[in-house]
Amino acid sequence: MTDFDATLDAIGLLCPLPVLKARKRLEPLAKGGVLRILADDPAAIVDVPHFCTEAGHGFLGMEDAGAHQIYLIRKGAD
């Protein structure tokens, strides 16, 4: 998987909290920085890519890690 600059542990959080916390966690990152999100909310599979499209961030992909998923987001426009 791609290198990342920050991690958000959103395991146990339900929609919309993983995306809301991702938005806040992306703020201090430089444009082009990569955020890794750990989440087990089934809605995150739809919510994270949708958030990226709406907010102008790059969705780098999702990997299944058994009990949770790992999402990678590249920060877009400020």
Active site residue 52: no
Which neighbouring-strand residues pair with 3?
none
Q: Which of 6, 11, 15, 55 is catalytic?
A: 15
Catalytic residue annotation: 15
